[in-house]
Amino acid sequence: MKADKEKITRRLKTARGQLDGILKMIEDDRYCIDISNQLMATIAILRNINRDVLNAHLGNCVQEAFEKGDSNQKIQEIMQIVDKLTK
C-alpha cells in the first residue's frame, strides 16, 4: 500500500473507537438520532480513508503501470471501484 500507513492506521483506530461507542450507545438504549449522527460521522471517516487510499493508488500504482505500458488491468480495477462507489 502506497498511502500513509501511519495516518490511515490512526484514522481506522478512530473509526473503530467510534464503532465501539455506537455499540455502547445501542446497549444503553440511547436516542436514535444520536446514534444515527455517530454512524454518519464514522461513515465519513471511512469514506475519507478510502479516498486517500485510492488517491495514493492512482498517484503511485496506476501511474507506474501507465509508465510501463501496462495500464489495462489498472483501468479495469479502477472501473470496478467506480462501479461499487456509484451503487
Residues of the chain with pLDDT under 70: none
Instruction: Give the pLDDT score at 70.
Output: 85
Nearest to 8 by CA among 57, 58, 45, 60: 45
Q: Which domains does the chain have, with CATH numbers?
A: 5-85 (1.20.58.1000)
Alpha-carbon distance of 48 to 63, in angstroms, equals 21
User: pTM, whole model, 2 decimals?
Assistant: 0.85
What local confidence, expressed as pLDDT, does residue 41 receive? Answer: 97
